[in-house]
Every structure is written in C-alpha cells, then in structure tokens.
A = this chain, B = another copy of it.
C-alpha cells in the first residue's frame, strides 16, 4: 500500500527528472469565484500532464533486468505519453494500448515518444484483458494507470509540492480540487496532504455522466459509469474507481463535485485568458468546480489542472463558446 514514505521515496527518484510546477493565480478568477483560487498547472509537466510522475515512479523502481525487457500500458492518452517518455528516457521499449477515439494529438505524441501503439474500441473491448495478454506474451511489465502503488506514489509527489507551496503562502487550510478518473492522482495527493498539510481537504471533480467516484463515495461501494464515451473530458473517463484507490479516497476525501462539459470548456477559456496556460477539458474540471460550484468551499481553494493535451479544434471551440 502506498504511504507517505513511498511518496517521499518516489520524490527522490523523480528529483531532477520531473518539473516542479508553480502555483498560479489571477485576481480576475478570485473575483469570479468569490474566494482565492490557486491553480497547480500539471499541464506544464513533461508530456503535458501529471501522468509522467507516476510513470517515472513506477519505471524507475523496477529491477534493471526486468525493466530492460520493456513496459506496457493502457491509456486514453496522458498515461500513454507519460509511460512512453519515461520509458524512452530509461532507454527501454514500450507498448501502449489506446482507444481508437483518443485525441489524435495524444496518439501521435505517444508514437513520437517511441512507443508501439495498439488501438482498441473502448465501447466493446476490455483494455485490461488486452494489456494482460500482451504483457504475458512479450514479458513486458504492465504499468497500470492508477491501481498501482508505485504510480499512486509518483502522483502523490504533486501533493508534497502543493503542501510546500501553500505553506510558502501561509495557507494552512484549503480545499484541494483534483480532476479524477480512476483515482490515482487524487489518492496520491490525499495521502501526501494527510501527512504534510492535515488542514487540507481533497475532493474529486468529474464531468456529468461520468461521476463514478462521486457516486461511489456517496454509496460506500465502487459504482460504474453507464457509458465509456461521449464526454469531452476523455482524460478522466474510466469505468469505475480503482480497487486500490477507492479505499484511500473513501478514507481521506471529501464530497465530489460534478461539472458540465460546457463548464469545463469555460474553465479552459479562462485558463487561456487569465492564467496563460493550455488545459484540456478533463484537466479543467477542478478549475470549473472552483469557479462555478464553489458555494460549499472555504476561502482558499487549490484547483489542480491535470493536463493540457487538447486538440486545436476543441481549444478554439472553448474560446468561441466563452469569449472574454
């Protein structure tokens, strides 16, 4: 099980390879939200999302002989790119299983990072089964996207940075909002905050219709999404909370916040005009929650923008729908 010692060990392995993203803010966003909103822009991380942290954490911890055979991963795109680049930086091969309807840029980038890409249909095929079979055939190590303690530990390094950066700003109480798919990012951040910033509460943020984590936290058991496609927030659409991540989230996290696709696009447009960062819709749901669903939140909110791998057409749509 991931604990704070594992997260701190991951940080040592990541040191010098991962970016320490800054904490951003804008008086315009504070005014809109009616509270102070800080943004942790993991879209500025290597490969454009926090996923590089978990990928590096898992790959760097492998036995060198095992690592040399290569790794395999399944992902709608951000975990794919994180694993592909971390593998290339370790000088090992990678195979990535991606849904055929993932954003074009994510598929192309994953290939450009040197990975062999295998496409599948997320409505009809089981990516876990495909991954298990390929990893067995080629003796590759499967790097799971969230249900893997070493990946959770890597994502948790973001929480260590948030705790330190908030302390520099003399903030000792805050709501930390995290875009959530399978729950690896939220679990890691929650574990880090519980140890380093106990006054902080971490909450999942999800798109409407794909709010499995929010419903699971309410019911006390792992609920499934009815569908696996149809959201602009592709990065955080997963079937259900992870087996490993769900108990962590149940123990440590507050109530989930659900936002519409249009609110996510509005947050994309505001991140462009007010923060000068490029965020994808799934990566913007926490900022959308802070701006449009903040009534239950305290005076200081830290919204994580988890990724920025957005196609130009979707970005232009966000700017057109939500002019300044």
- Listed in ascending order, the chain A residues whose CB lies under 8 Å from chain B are 16, 19-22, 24, 27-28, 41, 43-44, 48, 85, 105, 108-109, 112-113, 168, 269, 272-273, 275-279, 308, 312, 315-316, 319-320, 323-324
Contact (Cβ within 8 A) A315 B324? no
24 A-B interface contacts by CB (under 8 A):
A16-B168, A19-B22, A19-B24, A22-B44, A27-B85, A27-B113, A28-B112, A43-B276, A105-B324, A108-B324, A269-B312, A272-B278, A272-B312, A273-B312, A276-B277, A276-B278, A276-B308, A277-B277, A277-B278, A278-B278, A312-B323, A315-B319, A316-B319, A316-B320
Please name all residues of chain B whose beta carbon is closer than 8 Å to the beta carbon of A28 when the two chains form the complex.
109, 112
Please name all residues of chain B whose beta carbon is closer than 8 Å to the beta carbon of A22 when the two chains form the complex.
19-22, 44
Query: Can you tell how many copies of this chain the complex includes?
Result: 2
Cα A279 to Cα B275 in complex, Å, equals 11
Cα A323 to Cα B316 in complex, Å, equals 12
Cα A2 to Cα B119 in complex, Å, equals 59
Cα A27 to Cα B46 in complex, Å, equals 9
- Measured between C-beta atoms, what is the minimum distance from A29 to chain B in Å? 12
Contact (Cβ within 8 A) A276 B44? yes
- Measured between C-beta atoms, what is the minimum distance from A79 to chain B in Å? 17
- Measured between C-beta atoms, what is the minimum distance from A17 to chain B in Å? 11
Please name all residues of chain B whose beta carbon is closer than 8 Å to the beta carbon of A109 when the two chains form the complex.
28
Cα A277 to Cα B22 in complex, Å, equals 13
- Measured between C-beta atoms, what is the minimum distance from A81 to chain B in Å? 11
Cα A275 to Cα B320 in complex, Å, equals 22
Cα A105 to Cα B319 in complex, Å, equals 14
